[in-house]
């Protein structure tokens, strides 16, 4: 059902399609143009069953199943269609269906074809920059826990938004009427409400908001902070605004936006918004906390793609400004829709064109910051359509819809306890901020989760899980790299200072003083922590091209003298090889093992594990 709102002026028939129509396909084509894709596919299949092999029919079948989000059948017919050259968009849709089926490598193959045909498309550029994004997206830290709710029916439900007075509004096709949509044979949408109990998360049985509903599509809706003003979508046929397509005996409408006021507990004074038009649709409204900005999606002229997200200002006396496109930070040449703005100015929206898991994915962007939109990740997103995400910051609860279980159902999204961590990188001696520093966040097992670059204020932010230990590795050219622990936190906001000393501080008259380059017991491989320290040596040697270093390696006293001498020599060579691999000439660094001679902790037979670790070390002498 939500497909009615995706391409709000519906699907355009391509030039190739028009040229390929024949008398044999006339009946199926008519159903396709009326957006009755289920019946259209049956007619096309009859032609195939009669032995008709036609690339046009394959394409129409693929498009029909694409519009019904039947990835299995769409893939089958796209595979036949692309045996002959197609428009770029066909390859993009084929890739989307493959991705929805979890066939990521095959999806990438089709995306590469799409990118080759449309190299300037934002979707193509994004793919070229990061073609193998799926593993990182799948491993992304979970931001929400997802729960099913009891108010769903066997029909489509979506557009759920929770008011500050605990009323959940949503759209549903559950009401039985004699009129059906041609898309999926469901009734038209109506606006419903349910009372949310914040104590246990339960919802009362849904009831119809009758004063807002017509015999056509109504909803989704959004409302002001005080709950007294509502904005909602409605089919323009209620205004008798539609266009007749006599050649297929159909009437095509748009989606309009309306507003209403609460009077004596009922919605009254229903008014059209002034930028509604017979030439395009405007739908899925979301009003800002201060009531001064309305977000919506539309295919109006001036956008980047088929359906974009827009905003419009609202002044005194409900005077509306000129709609503004949110631009490429949010929109692509494809379709973005279902905007929802939170009380703290985070915009959630859905896109089938940005890099996701398949179908529609939910994205978020903080409009207060200069940052790119981020995929919300699993479990909110799946390989199916996930959309219409709203979040009430005051109640700390969200709702979204997905067809992961077969039909469009509403799910509850509860935030995972998190710590908003702000890191500030500075010069330890002067306090000056250090923009451009590299800040890596590591888990409690010292695995690097993600690396970010400090912005103009020397800041990097990470959203971390509560009650988990993390650490930072911070590097900056001209400064000594440093690590900083982040202790367990109960949640909320955390500021972490990260002061770096100028690199000169580790240069002494006779040696380069690094933190201990510890080796694991009986091993000579360079660990991640060891590499972090050795990178400081590399930086010093690059700053002084005449410097020559002797790397001395030591072991603890476990094992025979001869064995330890050989082990320390292997460690010295591994150290030298690492430094050379970073671009330092082999003539500038040598290594030698000293075994268990010259221990740091002279503990002989009674060494503790800590003392053994101190003795497994490396030292770096300045030879020249």
Q: Express each pLDDT in 494-506 by its tens digit.
A: 999 999 999 999 9
What are the residues whose beta carbons fall under 8 Å from the beta carbon of 523, sequence distance 6 or more? none
Q: Which pLDDT value is given to residue 167?
A: 94
115 three-class SS: helix
Provide the 8-state DSSP code for 436.
T
Q: Which of residues 136 and 381 earns the better pLDDT score?
A: 381
Query: Taking 90 as the threshold, does the pLDDT of residue 145 lie above it?
Result: yes
> Which tokens go with 161?
């938004």
- How far apart CA 344 and CA 285 sit, in angstroms, is 17
Provide the 8-state DSSP code for 12.
P
Preceding peptide of 390 cis, ω within 30°: no
Task: Report phi then psi at 253, rounded to 5.
Answer: -110, 175
> Phi/psi class of residue 318: alpha, beta or left (left: φ > 0; alpha: ψ in -120 to 50)?
left
CA nearest to 356, candidates 327, 398, 387: 387
Q: Which pLDDT value is given to residue 352?
A: 87
Query: Taking 90 as the threshold, does the pLDDT of residue 602 lie above it?
Result: no
What are the residues whose beta carbons fall under 8 Å from the beta carbon of 564, sequence distance 6 or more? 555, 556, 557, 558, 595, 596
Q: Which pLDDT value is given to residue 6?
A: 41
Query: Exposed (0-12), middle (13-18) or buried (19+): which is 20, by Cβ within 10 Å?
Result: middle
Query: Taking 70 as the threshold, does the pLDDT of residue 431 lie above it?
Result: yes
- Average pLDDT for 584-602: 89
Confidence class of residue 11 from pLDDT cuts 50, 70 and 90?
very low
- Average pLDDT for 390-412: 93
Count of beta carbons in the 10 Å neighbourhood of residue 115: 23
Q: Which pLDDT value is given to residue 246?
A: 47
CA-CA-CA-CA torsion sign (564, 565, 571, 575)? positive
Q: Which of 20-24, 342-346, 417-421, 438-442 is least confident?
A: 20-24
> Which tokens go with 569?
């020599």
> Which tokens go with 570?
């292997």
Provide the 8-state DSSP code for 533.
H
CA nearest to 254, candidates 212, 211, 300, 189: 300
Max mean pLDDT range (57-66, 126-135, 234-243, 442-451) = 57-66
Cα-only R_g, the chain: 31
pLDDT digits (tens, 9 = 90+) for 503-518: 999 999 999 998 877 7
Count of beta carbons in the 10 Å neighbourhood of residue 559: 16
CB 74 within 8 A of CB 97: yes
CA-CA-CA-CA torsion sign (582, 586, 589, 592)? positive
| Full DSSP string of 591-619 | EEE-TTSS-SS--GGG--HHHHHHHS-EE
Query: Taking 70 as the threshold, does the pLDDT of residue 242 lie above it?
Result: no
CB 593 within 8 A of CB 548: no
pLDDT digits (tens, 9 = 90+) for 457-495: 999 999 888 889 999 999 999 999 999 999 998 888 899
**Three-state secondary structure string covering 339-397:** EEECCCCEEEEEECCCCCCCCCEEEEEECCCCCCCEECCCCCCCCCCEEEEEEECCCCE
Residue 170 CA, chain-centre distance (Å), reads 24
Query: Taking 60 as the threshold, does the pLDDT of residue 365 lie above it?
Result: yes
> Which tokens go with 235?
């089919």
pLDDT digits (tens, 9 = 90+) for 71-123: 899 999 999 999 999 999 999 999 989 988 888 889 999 999 999 999 999 89
pLDDT digits (tens, 9 = 90+) for 519-570: 777 787 888 888 888 999 999 999 899 999 999 988 888 888 888 898 888 8
Q: Which of residues 59 and 134 earns the better pLDDT score?
A: 59
Average pLDDT of the residues of the chain: 88
- Average pLDDT for 224-246: 81
Apex 90 CA angle, 86 and 94, nearest 5: 125
Query: Taking 70 as the threshold, does the pLDDT of residue 244 lie above it?
Result: no
Query: Taking 70 as the threshold, does the pLDDT of residue 63 lie above it?
Result: yes
Alpha carbon distances (Å) from 403 to 122, 193, 383, 388? 27, 21, 10, 12
> Phi/psi class of residue 133: alpha, beta or left (left: φ > 0; alpha: ψ in -120 to 50)?
alpha
> Which tokens go with 84?
């002959």
> Which tokens go with 136?
């990182």
- How far apart CA 94 and CA 86 sit, in angstroms, is 11
Query: Taking 80 as the threshold, does the pLDDT of residue 21 lie above it?
Result: no
CA nearest to 552, candidates 483, 600, 602: 600
181: β partners: none
Query: Exposed (0-12), middle (13-18) or buried (19+): which is 580, by Cβ within 10 Å?
Result: middle
Percent residues over pLDDT 90 in the chain: 57
- Average pLDDT for 160-187: 77
Preceding peptide of 379 cis, ω within 30°: yes
Q: Which pLDDT value is given to residue 30?
A: 86
- Average pLDDT for 270-280: 94
């Amino acid at each position: 059902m939500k497909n009615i709102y995706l391409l709000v002026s519906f699907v355009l028939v391509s030039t190739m399609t028009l040229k390929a129509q024949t008398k044999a396909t006339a009946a199926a084509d008519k159903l396709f143009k009326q957006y009755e894709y289920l019946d259209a596919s049956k007619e096309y299949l009859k032609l195939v069953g009669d032995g008709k092999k036609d690339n046009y029919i394959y394409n129409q079948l693929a498009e029909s199943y694409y519009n019904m989000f039947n990835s299995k059948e769409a893939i089958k017919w796209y595979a036949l269609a692309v045996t002959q050259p197609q428009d770029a968009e066909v390859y993009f849709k084929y890739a989307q269906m493959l991705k929805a089926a979890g066939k990521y490598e095959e999806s990438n193959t089709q995306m590469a074809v799409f990118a080759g045909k449309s190299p300037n498309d934002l979707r193509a550029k994004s793919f070229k920059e990061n073609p193998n994004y799926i593993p990182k997206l799948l491993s992304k830290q979970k931001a929400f826990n997802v729960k099913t709710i009891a108010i769903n029916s066997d029909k489509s439900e979506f557009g759920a938004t929770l008011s500050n007075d605990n009323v959940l509004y949503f759209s549903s096709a559950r009401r039985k009427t004699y009129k059906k949509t041609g898309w999926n044979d469901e009734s038209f949408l109506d606006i419903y409400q349910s009372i949310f109990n914040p104590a246990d998360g339960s919802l009362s049985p849904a009831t119809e908001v009758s004063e807002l509903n017509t015999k056509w599509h109504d909803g989704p809706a959004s409302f002001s902070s005080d709950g007294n003003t509502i904005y909602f979508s409605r089919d323009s046929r209620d205004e008798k605004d539609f266009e007749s397509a006599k050649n297929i005996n159909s009437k095509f409408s748009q989606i309009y936006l309306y507003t209403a006021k609460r009077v004596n507990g009922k919605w009254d004074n229903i008014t059209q918004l002034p930028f509604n038009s017979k030439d395009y649709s405007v739908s899925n409204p979301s009003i800002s906390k201060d009531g001064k900005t309305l977000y919506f999606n539309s295919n109006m002229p001036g956008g980047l793609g088929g359906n974009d997200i827009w905003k419009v200002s609202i002044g005194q006396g409900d005077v509306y400004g000129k709609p503004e496109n949110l631009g490429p930070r949010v929109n692509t040449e494809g379709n973005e829709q279902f905007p929802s703005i939170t009380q703290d100015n985070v915009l959630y929206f859905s896109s089938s064109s940005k890099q996701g898991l398949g179908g529609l994915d939910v994205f978020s962007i903080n409009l207060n910051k200069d940052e790119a939109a981020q995929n919300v990740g699993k479990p909110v997103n799946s390989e199916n359509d996930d959309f219409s995400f709203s979040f009430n910051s005051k109640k700390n609860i969200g709702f979204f819809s997905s067809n992961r279980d077969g039909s469009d159902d509403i799910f509850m999204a509860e935030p995972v306890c998190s710590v908003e961590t702000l890191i500030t990188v500075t010069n330890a001696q002067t306090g000056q901020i250090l923009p451009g520093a590299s800040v890596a966040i590591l888990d409690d097992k010292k695995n690097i989760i993600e690396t970010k670059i400090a912005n103009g204020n020397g800041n990097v932010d990470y959203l971390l899980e509560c009650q988990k230990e993390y650490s930072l590795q911070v590097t900056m050219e001209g400064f000594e790299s440093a690590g900083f622990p982040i202790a367990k936190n109960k949640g909320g906001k955390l500021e972490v200072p990260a002061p770096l000393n100028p690199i000169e501080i580790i240069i002494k008259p006779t040696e380069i003083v690094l933190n201990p380059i510890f080796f694991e017991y009986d091993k000579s491989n360079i660990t991640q922590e060891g590499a972090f320290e050795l990178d400081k040596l590399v930086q010093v040697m690059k700053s002084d091209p005449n410097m020559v270093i002797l790397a001395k390696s030591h072991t603890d006293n476990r094992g025979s003298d001869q064995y330890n001498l050989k082990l320390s020599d292997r460690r010295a060579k591994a150290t030298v090889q690492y430094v050379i691999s970073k671009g330092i000439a082999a003539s500038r660094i040598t290594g030698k093992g000293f075994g268990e001679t010259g221990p740091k902790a002279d503990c002989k037979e009674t060494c503790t594990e800590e003392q053994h670790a101190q003795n497994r070390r490396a030292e770096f002498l300045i030879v020249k």
